[in-house]
Amino acid sequence: MTRETAYAKINLALHLRRRRDDGYHELETLFAFVDAGDILTAKPAAEDRLTTLGEFGEALTDPCGNIVMQALSALPRPEGLDITLEKNLPVAAGLGGGSADAGAIFRIVRELHGLPDDWRERAARLGADVPACVESRTCIGRGTGTELEPAEHSLAGTPVLLVNPRIPLATGPVFKAWDGKDLGAMPEGDSRLIALEGRNDMEAPAISLVPEIAQVLAAMRGTSPFLARMSGSGATCFALYDSNSTRDEAAARIAADHSGWWHIKGNLR
């Protein structure tokens, strides 16, 4: 049996530059990954199968249409795989949960059989975040997010807390609510500088759709992080801390004050 973690994706910075004629958006982002997420296990089978469980497993109502099955279909193999997906990350949450699951499938197939030379193109066809999620390492994304560049990862090991108000938020409406104003390029430098001096241009439109995001950010900023920001299109927010103990205290405070919110602790990979 093969086991992989689908590492939660966060956008340390996300700058929207313009709407494209094809309906997509030109953007610049700094991807980072938390050492926690969904868990996938795989074993050989006569045909591909998927079983979902975990806190958010019931949110995946169409197993055949799940991106895990799409990823399996995208990769040639000599045998099927029986996949069990423990869904620990909320759905439609700005964490790339589905993309992370697909990335984990690519790593499982790579370990068992190797990947085709065009695996990056196959991954991109599944979603803009999937190529970055295959390696799950800090990197810069441009274009629609599929044009990847290495990043100097000065934040490796940084304690991180993720918090979600348990309100799903689809990406499409957030992009639609963006005012279209280009506020400038993402800064150049190492990951810490980009994170601290960058921004998330989807934060304001997301808050206009789900005002609770502002409450989450306010609560997190009250726990002494050196950075708190929304991830991706929301509604999950992240906070970065100088120590695990400060992060753990923050998590306990959030849990006590907002028992209905989802949260998870980890460190940046």
Which residues on neighbouring strands pair with residue 123, listed in sequence order? none
> What CA–CA distances, in Å, run from 245 to 10, 193, 235?
21, 23, 25
Peptide bond between residue 45 and the one before it cis (omega within 30 degrees of 0): no
Cβ atoms 1, 43 nearer than 8 A:
yes
Among candidate residues 9, 38, 48, 87, the one labeled active-site is 9
Cβ atoms 128, 232 nearer than 8 A:
no
**Rounded CA separation 82/78 (Å):** 14
Among candidate residues 48, 101, 129, 201, the one labeled active-site is 129
> What are the b/e assignments for 234-264, b being 16+ CB within 10 Å?
bbbbbbbbeeeebbeebbeebeeebeebbbb
**Rounded CA separation 80/124 (Å):** 22
Q: How far is CA 164 from the centre of its chain?
A: 13
Cβ atoms 210, 235 nearer than 8 A:
yes
User: Any catalytic annotation for residue 9?
Assistant: yes
User: Any catalytic annotation for residue 257?
Assistant: no
Cβ atoms 237, 228 nearer than 8 A:
yes
Cβ atoms 34, 263 nearer than 8 A:
no
Active site residues: 9, 129
